[in-house]
Every structure is written in C-alpha cells, then in structure tokens.
Structure 1
C-alpha cells in the first residue's frame, strides 16, 4: 500500500484522505505540532495542504525528507513578493505591482499604480484577511508593521474572476480542468460555476500560463491559479500550490477529483485528462449550521467538514451538477429558502451564468 503524509490536518487533508481510500493509498493528515515518532513519514510521500508553516519538531524532520514533494517550491509561492517576481521572470500578465517599503513611497505608488491601491501582506492572509483597498487619503489605515512586509498592486477593473486547476506529473505530463468562474464576497469564495466547455481563448491562455509556472518550478501535483478577466485577457492574481477551494466541484462533477488527481501525481500513478460532462456549481458553506434538509434536493451533494461553526469560517460545501441547466437552476432556486439570506445573491449569480 502506498502511503502519503499530508502536512496539515484541516478539511483539505481530510478530503485527500477520503480520495486515497478507493485507490489503496493510505493518507495521513498530520497536525503541525504532532510528535515526529507518531507520524509514519519514513515510508511515505510527503505533501502539504498549506503553503507555510511554523518550525516545529515535525516540520524540522520533514524538511530533511527526500520524498517531500515540492518542498522547495512552497517558500516561493507562500511569499507574494517572490510569487510576483516569478510571474515577471516568466513574462506572465499580472496587475502592476511593487514592494511597499515605507510611508514615503505613497506618492510614487499612486503616481505609478493609479488611484486605488490593493495592499497585501507578503505572507499569511487569506479569505480577505491581511489585505487593504486604499485611496490616497486612506493610507493612515495601514498598520505600521506592514511596511516592508507588503506588496501593493494596482486596483484592476475586471469583469469576472476565474481559476484554473491543473496538475503536473513527475514526468512533466500536465492536465487541466475547465476554467471555473468564481464569486468572492468580502474576500471569501462564495460560489463557483464551471461548464464542460470553457471559453477557448481564455482556457488556452490560462493553460499556457499555468504550464509555464509548473514547468519552471518542476512542480508535481495539483496547483490552482486565480485570474482576473479583463478586456486585454487574463491577469494572474495568485497561486495556490495545493488542492484549492475553487476545485471542490470536481468531487462530483469530474471523472477524477482534484484530490485524487493530486494523489495520482505525487505517487506516480497514471494521470489521464479528467472528463467533465455537465455544468457544476459549488456553494461554500461559511459560518452556517448543518441542515440535512439540503439533502431533500436530489442534485445536492453535501461535504461537511465537521468543524466548529464560527462566523466567516468555511465549514462545508454543496456540489450540484446536471447536464440539464434548467433542472440545475431549479435546484439552486430550491436551496435559497434552506440557507441564510446572504446566500441568495451568490445563487442568483450562479443562475445568471446558465
């Protein structure tokens, strides 16, 4: 039996474990503070569900492990500065940006980047945390400890957000899912919609960009790339060197889920192109109590993370897919009264895509 240890024991590690069972792969998600002797890493392939981690007895041990796939890639992508430098090196389109070193740079920042500045911490920060949208009269809102630890980007006028989830094998083989359309609210992904046939021009551009990154880093496994849609084409926003929230629809909407695809890649199993036959929708469950009435709707697949429900916390997701978009839209409509009121706008957005 093949063994995989996942650094991190959140929902992504849990879903990797679930994906490994039918393949005969024993997947062990482990907390960062686990005792090394309690983790069967010696005979395992090592992967991670997070980009960065503190130094602990376990992470020190894993850092020396020869089978830690992408070990040297994580620091590059986990720091937004080195991530942006990678895009520039590969001449990939992004929003204009610069390092924000001190308060005295604000005048030149707005001269160079325009009237809206998007400030992001170089490391950490996710789901809208560690980010600020600032105009020139609002710069005092930025904490002092951000200077030298943040990048600043030009605020982009984009018409939509998409992500590309793909994988690369040890032999350099690459496969990709269709582009996923995403709706974010307050920096958190709320809803994703995907179609078997994406916009050809956007799909080709995204695959070319992500392929260049995967090959440059000699990356193995699943990676997600988030992009803005602009009149000039796609602009890369950020990378995730792991399975990704916007790929959760693949659990029920593709012949191979992103979790299975990642495991196949890192343990050198066959990596065929996943087949997607019907439109899919993923609804993130954020700070929402479990409601089994969702399952009264035959298209609904529930994925519950068994986490304490807290405001702003991702606690599960719902997947729906059907080749009949009318039936899919009707199921989404039937979900609305079974969810808190704030979900209605995201569901209406998804319905507008059909």
Structure 2
C-alpha cells in the first residue's frame, strides 16, 4: 500500500483519506500543530490541504521532504500579491487591482479603482475574513496596519460567481470538471450546482484559463479557479492549489471525485476525463447543529466533518445527484424544513437554477 502524507488534518484532509481507500492508498492527514516526528520515508509522497501552515515539527519535516508535490506553488498562490501578479503575467483577465504600499491612501485607491474598493489581506483570510470595504470616497481610510499587507481590488458588478476544478498529471495531462455555479452569502459558499447547460459555452474558455495556469506552474493534482462572469467574459477571482469546497459535488455527481483525482495525480496513477452522472447540487452546512433527520431526505449524501459547531464555521455539506430536477427540488423542499430560516435564500436559489 502506497502512503501519501497530507499537510493538514481538516475536513479536506479527511476526505482525501476516505478517497484513498478504494485506490489502496494509505493517506495520512497530519495536524499542522503537531510536534511529533513522523515515520516519513523517502519514497513516500506529500501533499497539502491548505496553502499556509505554521512552523511546527511536523510541518518542518513534511515541507523539507523531497517528494512534497507543488511545494513551491503554495507560497506563490497563498500570497494574493504574487497570485495576482502571476495572473497578470499570463494575460488572464482579473479585476483591476494594486498593492497597498506604505504611502497608498484611500483617496488614491478610489481615484484609480473607483467608488467601491475591496481590500484583501495578502495572506490568510477566507470565507469573507481578512477583507475591508472602502465605499465612501473622501471619508474612508486604509485601516491601521493594513499598508503593505493587503491588495486593493476594484469592485466588480458581476452577473454570477462560478468556478472550475481541473486536474493535471506530472506529465502534463489535464482534465476538467464542468463549470460550477456558486452562491456566496457574506463571503461564505453556501450552495453550488453543476453542470448547467446554459454555461456550457464558457467551458472551453475556463479550461484554457486554468490549464494555462497549471501548465505554467508545472502543477500536479487538483486546482480550483474561482471566477466572476460578466456576460461571456470570465474574470479570475482567486485560485486554490488544492481540492476546493465548490468541487464537493463531484463526490456524488461524477465517477471520480475531486479528492480521488488529486490522489491519482500525486500517486502517478492514470487520470481520465471524469464522467458526470446528473446535475448535482451541494448545500454547505455552516454553523448548524447535526440532525439525524437529514438522512431521511431522499437522495441526500451527507458529509459531516465532526467539528465543533460555531457561527460561520463550515461543519458539513449535503450533496444531491438525482435523476431529474423535480426530485431534486422535492428533496430541497424537505431539507428546508430541517434547516434554519437563513437557508431559505440558499435553497430558493438552488431550485431556481434547476428551472
């Protein structure tokens, strides 16, 4: 049995472990806070479920291993300045942006980027954290301590948010899942649906963009590219050099999930174009308590992460991949009775995409 170590033992690491079992891969997620010495052998592979990690005994050992796949890619994409710079270098469309330097003022940002400007800290920050809006020209200011540690982006009045998940082998083979339409509320992904026939004409464009990035980085494994759609134009929002929340639907909706695809690439097993079964929807469970009743919803495929429930924290997700949209809508109707009122907007949005 081949062993693959995963830097990070959160839900993504655990789902990688689960996906490795049918492939006879011994996937070992590692707590980033661990001070243990790992029984890591020279021929074993190392991957990661996250872009950044603290300096601990375990992370030092993993990060110094000769077979840590994509090791140089993580810091480059974890820093939004170097990530955006790469996107620009490759001539890919993204929102107008700039680095917030020591002498950058809110006034100069408004002058260059417009009335609404979003500040994003260069590292860290996810699910809407590490961000600050400048919306009042002449009255607002760059927060104290944010100079040189953030970038500024022009606010985009986009039509929709979507993502594409791709995979690349060590010898350069690339395959892609269909575009996924996403709904974010307060910066947190709450619902996804894929594939949608009305987005099919953008698939080739999305694949070319993500393929260009993966090839330039000589990337191995799964990468996600989040985009804004403006008409038929796609603007790259952010990149994730790992399995991604918006690809969770592939666990139910494709013969190869994004987790299996990543492991295949890392372990140098054959990659193939995934076969999509039906239109799938994914409901993210955020800050809600576990209920056995979810298991009674027809077609529901629950993934519970076993984490302490806190406001704004992703604690699980439910996938549906049913034979027809009417059955999916009926399942979402039933699920709505088991979720807080805040989910009415999410489930209504999902149902509307199936019309």
- TM-score range for the pair, normalised by the shorter chain length: over 0.9
Instruction: Give 1:43 shift.
Output: 3.8
The residue aligned with 1:108 is 108
Structure 2, unaligned runs of 5 or more: none
Q: In terms of mean alpha carbon deviation, does 158-167 or 60-69 score higher? A: 60-69
The residue aligned with 1:193 is 193
**Deviations 1:292-316, CA, capped at 9 Å, x for gaps:** 1111112101100011111111000
Instruction: Give 1:103 shift.
Output: 5.6
Contact residue 196 and residue 277 of structure 1 kept, 8 A: no
Give, in whole Å, the separation in 1 of the partners of 2:317 and 2:277.
Answer: 21
Whether 1:169 aligns to 2:166 is: no
User: Secondary structure, in 3 states, of the residue corresponding to 2:226?
Assistant: strand
* Change over 3 Å in CA distance of 1:138–1:69 after alignment to 2: farther
User: Secondary structure, in 3 states, of the residue corresponding to 1:151?
Assistant: strand
Give, in whole Å, the separation in 1 of the partners of 2:271 and 2:77.
Answer: 24
**Deviations 1:17-68, CA, capped at 9 Å, x for gaps:** 0000111000000012324523435442000001011222222222221100
Structure 1, unaligned runs of 5 or more: none
Instruction: Give 1:106 shift.
Output: 2.3
Contact residue 19 and residue 259 of structure 2 kept, 8 A: yes
The TM-score normalised by the length of structure 1 is: 0.97
* Residue pairs, 1:190-339, within 5 angstroms: 190-195=190-195, 197=197, 199-231=199-231, 233-339=233-339
The residue aligned with 2:26 is 26
CA RMSD between the two structures? 1.4
Give, in whole Å, the separation in 1 of the partners of 2:104 and 2:316.
Answer: 44
Give, in whole Å, the separation in 2 of the partners of 1:249 and 1:233.
Answer: 24
Instruction: Give 1:321 shift.
Output: 1.0
The residue aligned with 2:140 is 139
The residue aligned with 1:81 is 81
Give, in whole Å, the separation in 2 of the partners of 1:346 and 1:170.
Answer: 38
* Change over 3 Å in CA distance of 1:81–1:41 after alignment to 2: farther
Q: In terms of mean alpha carbon deviation, does 78-87 or 322-331 score higher? A: 322-331
Contact residue 178 and residue 198 of structure 1 kept, 8 A: no
Q: In terms of mean alpha carbon deviation, does 191-200 or 340-349 score higher? A: 191-200
User: Secondary structure, in 3 states, of the residue corresponding to 1:29?
Assistant: strand
Q: Which runs of 4+ in 1 moved over 4 A?
A: none
The residue aligned with 1:63 is 63
Give, in whole Å, the separation in 1 of the partners of 2:108 and 2:159.
Answer: 27
**Deviations 1:269-294, CA, capped at 9 Å, x for gaps:** 01010011211000000010111111
Contact residue 178 and residue 197 of structure 1 kept, 8 A: no
Contact residue 191 and residue 350 of structure 1 kept, 8 A: yes
Give, in whole Å, the separation in 1 of the partners of 2:251 and 2:44.
Answer: 24
Count of residues in Structure 1 that have an aligned counterpart in Structure 2:
353
Whether 1:118 aligns to 2:118 is: yes
**Deviations 1:170-207, CA, capped at 9 Å, x for gaps:** 01000100000000001000000112646233111110
The TM-score normalised by the length of structure 2 is: 0.96
Contact residue 222 and residue 261 of structure 1 kept, 8 A: yes
Q: In terms of mean alpha carbon deviation, does 94-103 or 118-127 score higher? A: 94-103
Instruction: Give 1:101 shift.
Output: 1.1
The residue aligned with 2:3 is 3
Give, in whole Å, the separation in 1 of the partners of 2:341 and 2:272.
Answer: 41
Contact residue 226 and residue 237 of structure 2 kept, 8 A: yes
Give, in whole Å, the separation in 1 of the partners of 2:199 and 2:189.
Answer: 21
User: Secondary structure, in 3 states, of the residue corresponding to 2:70?
Assistant: coil
